[in-house]
Amino acid sequence: MDSFNLYFPSCPRMSGQFSWIISCRIMSSPIILKFSLPNLFSRWKNWWIRGILTLTMISLFFLIIYMGSFMLMLLVLGIQVKCFHEIITIGYRVYRSYELPWFRTLSWYFLLCVNYFFYGETVADYFATFVQREEQLQFLIRYHRFISFALYLAGFCMFVLSLVKKHYRLQFYMFAWTHVTLLITVTQSHLVIQNLFEGMIWFLVPISSVICNDITAYLFGFFFGRTPLIKLSPKKTWEGFIGGFFSTVVFGFIAAYILAKYQYFVCPIEYRSEINSFVTECEPSELFQLQTYSVPPLLKGVLRWDTVSLYPFQIHSIALSTFASLIGPFGGFFASGFKRAFKIKDFANTIPGHGGIMDRFDCQYLMATFVHVYITSFIRGPNPSKVLQQLLVLQPEQQLNIYKTLKSHLTEKGLLQPSLKL
pLDDT digits (tens, 9 = 90+) for 129-144: 666 666 777 788 888 8
Report H helices in 261-311: 263-266, 297-303
Determine the pLDDT at residue 17: 42
**Mean pLDDT value across residues 54-69:** 85
**The pLDDT of residue 48 is above 80:** no
At 38 the three-state DSSP class reads coil
117 is a domain residue: no
Residue 112 is which amino acid? Answer: L
Angle between the N-to-C axes of helices 357-374 and 329-341, in degrees from 0 to 180, rounded to the nearest 10:
140
Judge whether 52 lies within some domain: no
Domains in the chain, number: 1
Domain contains 172? no
| 279 Cβ contact partners less than 8 Å away, ≥ 6 residues apart | 269, 270, 271, 272
CA–CA separation, 204 vs 252, rounded Å?
10
Task: Write down the pLDDT at residue 44.
Answer: 61
Write out the residue range of the structural domain in which residue 311 sits.
199-344
The count of residues in the chain is: 422
Residue 299 lies in a domain: yes
Q: What is the pLDDT of residue 1?
A: 42
Q: Taking every pair of C-alpha atoms in the chain, what is the biggest distance, in angstroms?
A: 103
- pLDDT tens for each residue of 84-127: 999 988 887 777 765 676 778 899 999 999 999 998 888 777 77
Q: What is the pLDDT of residue 3?
A: 41
To 10 degrees, the CA torsion angle through 201, 203, 204, 206? 110
Give 254's pLDDT tier (boundaries 50, 70, 90).
very high
The letter for the amino acid at 119 is Y
User: In the prediction, which pLDDT does 165 show?
Assistant: 85
Would the CA dihedral through 131, 136, 138, 144 be positive or negative?
Answer: negative
The C-alpha atoms of residue 141 and residue 422 are separated, in whole angstroms, by: 44
* CA 320 to chain CA centroid, nearest Å: 14
Count other Cβ atoms within 10 Å, centred on residue 405: 10
Q: How far is CA 62 from the centre of its chain?
A: 15
| Residue 227 domain-assigned (yes or no) | yes
Model confidence at 7, pLDDT cuts 50, 70, 90, reads very low
Share of the chain above pLDDT 90, in %: 34
CB 143 within 8 A of CB 404: no
pLDDT digits (tens, 9 = 90+) for 23-44: 343 344 455 555 555 555 565 6
Which of 12-26, 225-239, 371-385, 386-400 is the most confident on average?
A: 225-239
Residue 279 pLDDT more than 70?
yes
Q: Is residue 248 part of a domain?
A: yes
Distances (CA, A) of 305 to 149, 205, 302, 375, 409: 60, 27, 8, 31, 47
Mean pLDDT of 183-195: 90
- Does residue 420 fall inside a structural domain? no
Q: What average pLDDT is seen over the chain?
A: 81
Is residue 308 in some structural domain?
yes
